[in-house]
Structure 1
Amino acid sequence: MFETIKLDVADGVARLTLNRPDRLNSFTVAMHAEVARAIDRIDDDHNVRTLVLTGAGRGFCAGQDLGDRAVAPGGEPVDLGESVELYYAPLIRRLTRLRMPVIAAVNGVAAGAGANIALACDIVIAARSAKFIQSFANIGLIPDSGGTWILPRLVGQARALGLALTGEPLSAEKAQEWGLIWRCVDDEALDAEVAGLATRFAKGPTRGLARTKSLIRSSWLHSLDAELDLERDVMRELGFSHDYQEGVAAFTAKRPPNFTGR
């Protein structure tokens, strides 16, 4: 079904693996198309309640494959804005708006757009050997794929500018210390850590998790008064949900809840 990615679905968890390890899982037009198809499939399958995004081999993703003919230098100038508009921006929008938690399992280097694709996920867990590199400055570009938006919001302007202007690698440990990612774990513990969290989300109150994700991500656009009104509306909606009723019943009965995502 796919040539540049792998998609595995089991027990409510979809695992999407970027699978060009010989090129550090860098993106081509073909990979973008396959990732888009995979996310469509995940979004349409209501048995899927969480998504894990990772890379094959020794890296998460090195960003754009500069050898791909769609962006290769030489000859006629290439419209990189078109590449962003057609491929990278839609991917970031899909990940941030997906109706379920999205976990990035960063198993190695995440560079350029690869770093910002990881940071667009809801939870980022990185192996201790992983590095985050805003490598755009090295080729005269800006941090795309949401980089100029998300970096200052996660780490502040001074650190965002340092990362973006120097292109210096940031270790996973420092990324956790700065609040750029959720957690840094030993390399050998990455798979188990991600699997445990993915299972937790897949068995959790998916609708409530999705609304939490949506409100936090959109809160930058709202005043406190507007956000309070949104919280009222969403609490009203969720108060009628099966999962809320089940959560209260389980709490009262002192038993584990059986959430269905409804």
Structure 2
Amino acid sequence: MANTNPPPAIARIRYEDLGAVAHIELNRPNEANAIDQATAQELELAIEKASNNDDARVILITGAGARFCAGGDLHSVLAADEQADYLQELAQTLDSALRKLTQGDKPVVAAVQGAVAGAGIALMLSCDLVIADPSTKFALAYSGVGLTPDCGTSYLLPRAIGQQRALAMALMNRAVTAEEALAWGLITEVAEDSPSKERALDLARNLAAGPQFALGQTRRLIRGGWESTRAQVGAEEARTIARAVTTPESVKLLQKFATHRKTR
């Protein structure tokens, strides 16, 4: 008898627990990991799962296949009955997912390769440390199809590389190489000696072995600083460092520091 059961659906987002690292991978390699509404919803659920996983100390974001992320899935936009409504809903869903990623208290590492475009730039900038393959290209690409930035790109990009460079990428539809991206501050490191995914996983595991409270709160303070005044930042830093010094990790590290000084 022929098997009439439909094939199982392939997850658009893969989630994997790698010890203390929660691994989230965009899984549409044949579409350059372009994000449609279903993918955005799955991504948000995966981010929530990683954020609520007490065993996960670091989140790792990757993209399957040759390219990290081409941004929004324009084919799904063109196929929609109401394109404007669909695109607005897609942008809002993905923006919600990325805000959850940036507002969490776990460091986020990304490995990027091939191409990073459109909303893929916003996803990348929502991560704290970004490792790129040497051949990676970065482009906003919105103006090439008559669209405007979404998902917080116009907020995140000028804060990462400055207003003039952000405008050059946006208005001139300029592609940026990995070396330029490193020099501009768009990424953290170019992986010269190993694939970006291997280097990013090593980095994520090293962070996971570090002081969890201190790293998570440092991330929160730096990312939240854009929303606060200088006085508010200083006050929040004082409150947070007072909490940090009481954590078991800090107590142990301070004792190690004191012992080391005595033996010098």
Q: What is the TM-score when the length of structure 2 is the normalising length?
A: 0.89
What is aligned with 1:148? 154
Q: Which of 70, 81, 86 is the equivalent residue of 2:88?
A: 81
Asked if 1:157 corresponds to 2:191, the answer is no
Superposed CA offset, 1:143-198 (max 9, x none): 21211111111111111100011112111110001111111123734233212211
Superposed CA offset, 1:218-242 (max 9, x none): 1122222221111111111112211
Closer, same or farther: CA 159–58 of 1 in aligned 2, 3 Å: same
Asked if 1:175 corresponds to 2:181, the answer is yes
What is aligned with 1:257? none
What is aligned with 2:235? 229
What is aligned with 1:67? 75
Output aligned runs, 1:129-140, within 5 Å: 129-140=135-146
Paired letter, 2:154: T
Q: Which of 189, 194, 201 is the equivalent residue of 1:188?
A: 194
Asked if 1:120 corresponds to 2:111, the answer is no
Superposed CA RMSD: 1.8
For residues 104 and 10 of structure 2, the distance between their equivalents in structure 1, rounded to whole angstroms, comes to 21
Question: Which protein shows a greater Rg?
Answer: 2
What is aligned with 2:211? 205
For residues 193 and 154 of structure 1, the distance between their equivalents in structure 2, rounded to whole angstroms, comes to 22
For residues 49 and 133 of structure 1, the distance between their equivalents in structure 2, rounded to whole angstroms, comes to 31
Q: Which of 233, 239, 258 is the equivalent residue of 1:252?
A: 258
What is aligned with 2:43? 35
What is aligned with 2:3? none
For residues 63 and 35 of structure 2, the distance between their equivalents in structure 1, rounded to whole angstroms, comes to 11
Asked if 1:16 corresponds to 2:24, the answer is yes
After alignment, is 160-169 or 33-42 more displaced? 33-42
Paired-residue identity, %: 34
Q: Which of 200, 216, 235 is the equivalent residue of 2:222?
A: 216
User: How far apart are residue 250 of structure 1 and its match?
Assistant: 2.9
5+ residue gaps, structure 1: 255-262
User: How far apart are residue 75 of structure 1 and its match?
Assistant: 5.3
What is aligned with 1:259? none
Contact in 2 for aligned 1:2/1:34 (Cα 8 Å): no
Q: Which of 28, 37, 53 is the equivalent residue of 1:45?
A: 53
